[in-house]
Chain A
């Protein structure tokens, strides 16, 4: 089992902590799903989110601070340092956003920030595209985990580029990888685990569901199903329903 900077997860599900109807609902979503990592943003809270962060600490799960909302390497690095102080962790989910509308990663800023933070002792979880060349550069820069996107943040589209993700997975078989962003349904999460990814990270799909607690449970079951399926070595798909010889005129009983 691939680990995340020395940590293995019982349930390979990481949940964001934004957009829930209330912190109480968020807490039940964590408890009912068994999600073992909580991501938390601090860019817009101005270092004053104490009340809310105390609730997150109280969840008793691993905290993965993120640099959501940062548009440059410099901003992300500053936020990472603030996060390290606030949460007493070297973990940082590194987001450097390149485009305000699609929220897609800025590969250049991401690489720059990864280099700087890894050199500074951070355990970097870079939020990246499925680009293989970029992945190699991020690993060279010191990242030991990759977080390729499924689809743009908050879009709920699932795995947008299955070919690209499969290739990425195959190219770096030993690197722990988390599908981050764009998942809308548990089936997307199961799909990711079946493809060999090690965990998924999501927020909107759970927090904005009509019943976030039930949806969190749904995702927890899905990632476990996907992980089991992967271990069980699935059958190869076949085009069984397409006959290779015509059946007209033949007895079929």
Chain B
């Protein structure tokens, strides 16, 4: 007997399934594409668990809820707990002061070489010690494995909440086609640069082309990400490649010699306040709108859905329709 059916096996659906399992519910998980892969936007994420940096622009709720991400993920997958570094080029150093004013949990770095020897040429940086990162694709497959260990296997089928009985959690992202939800296009690049070593995510503040670089195993780096108010579904644009690579080159000219492994483009589902929601419609809970905070906020969103279902607690991300 199933207690709750979850549609969608991206980061939102998997986190919800895992959280509800742990709360003792019997869960069914269905995705029209089966296991996570390039068809879902979770595949293209950076994997930064950086609530304090996000606070420069995002609402305080992102900073608060984002701090639950590390404990959640540490129980499931490898989390690298080495903080994050925010750098500005010499001519943009005013941006760094502004970033510092708008964020908490950082300190000014006097000796960048001590943290990241390969970035010694830079002069202006902030260090956010209590941040972390993970490899999103490993995190997804580790979650799938953890669920399998609890007897939950992803069923491949195209279903809609109306065709299912009992409580349903709908995490289909853009496919859910909810009112108020829009797509925000993001584009990314994956490089291999064995000569460069970074041990933590680095953000480059730039008034026009902000960039982050997340190191992954084997000399691989993820460069992201553009943010366009567009639902256009096509491959990365030449302009985005130019901008991302130019910014990386400004950070370390050796990126010019890197091997271009992969590019990606997808849509981030977002509500007007760019905060995720649990929208309650009868027996259906819609978990959606994770925007650029999938890995950062999916654990908190899942926890609020579970609290609502099992205890009737209405958290700040829950919206009763």
A120-142, CB under 8 A of B: which get 1 and which 0? 00000000000000000000000
With A51-B181, A51-B182, A52-B182: A22-B231 Cβ-Cβ less than 8 Å: no
Cβ A210 vs Cβ B232 within 8 A = no
Cβ A51 vs Cβ B183 within 8 A = yes
CB distance from A211 to the nearest CB of B (A): 10
Q: How far is the CA of A47 from the CA of B230 in the complex (A)?
A: 8
Interface residues on A, range: 10 to 19
Residues 200-243 (chain B) with a chain A CB within 8 angstroms: 207-208, 228-234, 237, 239
Instruction: Kindly list 12 other residue pairs between chains A and B, CB separation below 8 angstroms, not including A23-B182, A45-B228.
Output: A21-B57, A22-B272, A22-B273, A23-B273, A44-B237, A45-B229, A49-B229, A54-B182, A55-B182, A55-B272, A210-B101, A210-B102
Q: How far is the CA of A44 from the CA of B275 in the complex (A)?
A: 24
Q: How far is the CA of A50 from the CA of B179 in the complex (A)?
A: 13
Answer whether residue B78 sits at the interface, using C-beta atoms and an 8 A cutoff: no
Tell me the count of chain B residues lying within 8 A, CB to CB, of chain A: 26
Answer whether residue A46 sits at the interface, using C-beta atoms and an 8 A cutoff: yes
Cβ A46 vs Cβ B182 within 8 A = no
Answer whether residue A48 sits at the interface, using C-beta atoms and an 8 A cutoff: yes
Smallest CB-CB separation from A45: which chain B residue? B230
Answer whether residue B77 sits at the interface, using C-beta atoms and an 8 A cutoff: no
Answer whether residue A154 sits at the interface, using C-beta atoms and an 8 A cutoff: yes
Residues 270-314 (chain B) with a chain A CB within 8 angstroms: 270, 272-275
Q: How far is the CA of A22 from the CA of B180 in the complex (A)?
A: 13
Q: How far is the CA of A210 from the CA of B57 in the complex (A)?
A: 8
Q: Chain B residues with Cβ under 8 A from A25's Cβ? A: 273
Residues 40-86 (chain B) with a chain A CB within 8 angstroms: 57-59
Answer whether residue A106 sits at the interface, using C-beta atoms and an 8 A cutoff: no
A1-33, CB under 8 A of B: which get 1 and which 0? 000000000000000000001111101000000
Smallest CB-CB separation from A25: which chain B residue? B273
Q: What are 11 of the A-B contact pairs (CB < 8 Å)?
A: A21-B58, A21-B274, A22-B273, A23-B274, A44-B230, A45-B229, A45-B230, A46-B230, A48-B231, A48-B233, A55-B182
Q: How far is the CA of A154 from the CA of B227 in the complex (A)?
A: 18
Q: How far is the CA of A112 from the CA of B275 in the complex (A)?
A: 44
Smallest CB-CB separation from A53: which chain B residue? B229
B135-162, CB under 8 A of A: which get 1 and which 0? 0000000000000000000000000000
Q: Chain A residues with Cβ under 8 A from B98's Cβ? A: 210
Q: Chain B residues with Cβ under 8 A from A51's Cβ? A: 181-183, 229, 231
Smallest CB-CB separation from B94: which chain A residue? A156
Q: Chain B residues with Cβ under 8 A from A23's Cβ? A: 182, 272-274
Cβ A24 vs Cβ B272 within 8 A = yes
A139-162, CB under 8 A of B: which get 1 and which 0? 000000000000000100000000
